[in-house]
Amino acid sequence: MPTTAPNTVPASAPTSTFAEFAERADYSLLDSLQADPQASGDGHDHRPRQVFSGHYVPVTPTPLPVPELVAHSRALFHDLGLSEALAHDDQFLRLFSGDIGVTTEPMRPFGWATGYALSIYGTEYIQQCPFGTGNGYGDGRAISVFEGVFNGRRWEMQLKGGGPTPYCRGADGRAVLRSSVREFLAQEFMHALGVPTSRSLTLVVSRAETVRRPWYAPNSRSFDPDILVDNPAAITTRVAPSFLRVGQLELFARRVRSQAHPAALHELGMIVRHLIERNYRPQIDPDLEFSDQVVELARLFRGRLTALVAHWIRVGYCQGNFNSDNCAAGGYTLDYGPFGFCELFDPRFQPWTGGGEHFCFFNQPVAAEANYQMFWAALRPLLEDNTEALARLDQLRDGFAEAMNQAMEAMWASKLGLTSYDAALVNELLELMLLSKVDYTIFFRRLSAIPEDLSTLKESFYLPSSEDLEARWTQWLQRWRDGLSEGGDRKATAEAMQRVNPAITWREWLIAPAYQQAEQGDYRAIQELQAVFSHPYAEPSAQLAATYDRLKPREFFNAGGVSHYSCSS
């Protein structure tokens, strides 16, 4: 399993000025799609309304007043070949705070938002928009402002919190600093963990605009938010090859099914071609028949989705709200709102209060299958006249659980340094982990040193263990170590385990002070987290370990806003 995603080759000359950045703009893929025929040409229509057809709505963002740069991702700047100076360029800052008036040719002075459908755990919802039709649901506060090519790769840049769009459903289109700090840090942390993800470009805050959201009082033990708080408005810009979601394909397939308009099937075909173009070239040969390309797409997405979820479980990540509209069709992590990382091991870990057990930590493979089912169903209308291709597509759906299983088994084997999966060993381990209430990250990292006895492993236990339990642990450890020696070289095994079992993880009680200090204008904690999160597999210095390699302190259990949180983002 790779520990870092492949980086792009750095360009010989970095993009240093805003004019050079603008030169990278290339809207040729966006232009292959259909714009909403009812949209006003200038993109200034922000009222909630139904969008009946087309793939996107041109819309201008609403600028944040008096924007201030909180942070930018050095890693992504490097990958895109952007110079550090650009992060401090006034026009660049203004663009990524929603002021699209600063654009120069060939950039466009408007952005775009897209509609999508929603299904929750495989059940379709159409009532969730003000019109009760699903035609008003989509990017309510996410607005893409740039499509361009950097170092030979095409990226889309999207503001989150960029103001209302026709899909805003009457809400303000804004995001608070708290949730923006979380999304900004988490995306780059996941990338450094080697988990496919959207990336973070910049994080901008306004000192002149606040938004009010339900949240938790200090030291609250409440499950639901108990106060209303004003938080500075912020915008994170996220970057990905596309922001296409499973829900998007679903929207167009629904319209085919309900014969919503004569071009519905054509529009579905267009969005699927677009997905292939953006996320699956060059893996899908453009010379194949379209029906074969569709089957290939389904095969590749199945591989990416199963691998993604196995990664999530490897690193302790829980999406929390794995609806089809939070499931990127390119097979990477998207929407860092309801997420959390498991500290005290619990297969039912679910930090988001709205999420429910179906989206909990260990249920993510099943939740993924429900999303895959929606993806599969959305592709079917394209193959209606090709029974042979349809059969291959159906087989892929039928084989999802088995493919997911294989990905999980390979993941557990790698986490334990084994050459092949051993079900009895893993199941016994999970039971012991539950009984001792281990810290998920600390446990696997200590295990990666291949200890001879329990002493270091016990540093990860939240509960003192009985003699009986210790005897079981010792037996398990012995069996596991015996299994390893078949493979040989202990040092190489330990090193391989350290490349899949991170030394540090996301601990919400260490993140909360960073966004709280940022509200006061102090960004040092964010900078420290950026640095720590950029090398999660490296052994931290003793000084950093004292902060980051620690069990969750007792006072943060059941703490509102830290142990669990609502969607007040």
Ligand X SMILES: Nc1ncnc2c1ncn2[C@@H]1O[C@H](COP(=O)(O)OP(=O)(O)OP(=O)(O)O)[C@@H](O)[C@H]1O
Q: Which residues are part of the catalytic machinery? A: 325
Q: Which residue is nearest to Mg ion (CB)?
A: 335
Nearer to ligand X, 197 or 460 (CB): 197
460 is a contact residue toward ligand X (CB under 6 A): no
Contact segment (CB under 6 A) with ligand X among 23-31, 134-142, 385-393, 478-486 equals 134-142
**3-state DSSP assignment of residue 174:** coil
Contact segment (CB under 5 A) with Mg ion among 319-327, 375-383, 413-421, 539-547 equals 319-327
| 51, two tokens | 């969008």
248 is a contact residue toward ligand X (CB under 6 A): no
326 is a contact residue toward Mg ion (CB under 5 A): yes
Alpha-carbon gap, residue 77 to 512, rounded angstroms:
26
| 126, two tokens | 């159409």
119 is a contact residue toward Mg ion (CB under 5 A): no
Q: Which does 217 bind (CB under 5 to 8 A by kind): ligand X, Mg ion, none?
A: none
Contact segment (CB under 6 A) with ligand X among 20-28, 40-48, 139-147, 468-476 equals 139-147
For the chain, give the longest Cα–Cα distance: 73
User: Which residues are registered as beta bridge partners of 212?
Assistant: 230
142 is a contact residue toward ligand X (CB under 6 A): yes
45 is a contact residue toward ligand X (CB under 6 A): no
User: Which residues are registered as beta bridge partners of 56?
Assistant: 35
Burial (0-12, 13-18, 19+ Cβ within 10 Å), 116? buried
CB of 179 to ligand X, least distance (A): 8
**569 touches 337 (CB < 8 A):** yes
- CB < 8 Å & 24+ apart, contacts of 17-22: 17/86, 17/89, 18/86, 18/89, 18/91, 18/92, 18/95, 18/102, 18/104, 19/104, 21/82, 21/86, 21/92, 22/103, 22/104, 22/105, 22/106, 22/107
Among 73, 187, 326, 441, binds ligand X (CB under 6 A): 326
Q: Which does 567 bind (CB under 5 to 8 A by kind): Mg ion, ligand X, none?
A: ligand X
- The closest of 239, 255, 235 to 116, measured between CA atoms, is 255
Nearer to Mg ion, 246 or 268 (CB): 246
- The closest of 286, 299, 313, 175 to 235, measured between CA atoms, is 175
Applying the rule CB under 5 A, the residues between 458 and 487 that interact with Mg ion are: none
Applying the rule CB under 6 A, the residues between 329 and 368 that interact with ligand X are: 335, 337
CB of 548 to ligand X, least distance (A): 27
Contact segment (CB under 5 A) with Mg ion among 188-196, 243-251, 324-332, 483-491 equals 324-332
- The closest of 134, 132, 130, 131 to 119, measured between CA atoms, is 134
CB of 331 to ligand X, least distance (A): 16
Applying the rule CB under 6 A, the residues between 160 and 179 that interact with ligand X are: 160, 164, 168, 171-174
Buried b (16+ CB within 10 A) or exposed e, 337-361: bbbbbbbbbbeebbbbbebeeebbb
**347 touches 360 (CB < 8 A):** yes
Nearer to ligand X, 247 or 417 (CB): 247
Q: Which does 174 bind (CB under 5 to 8 A by kind): Mg ion, ligand X, none?
A: ligand X
CB of 174 to ligand X, least distance (A): 5
What contacts 7, CB < 8 A, 6 or more positions away?
A: 78, 79
335 is a contact residue toward Mg ion (CB under 5 A): yes
Interface residues with ligand X (CB under 6 A) are 139-142, 160, 164, 168, 171-174, 326, 335, 337, 567, 569
Interface residues with Mg ion (CB under 5 A) are 326, 335
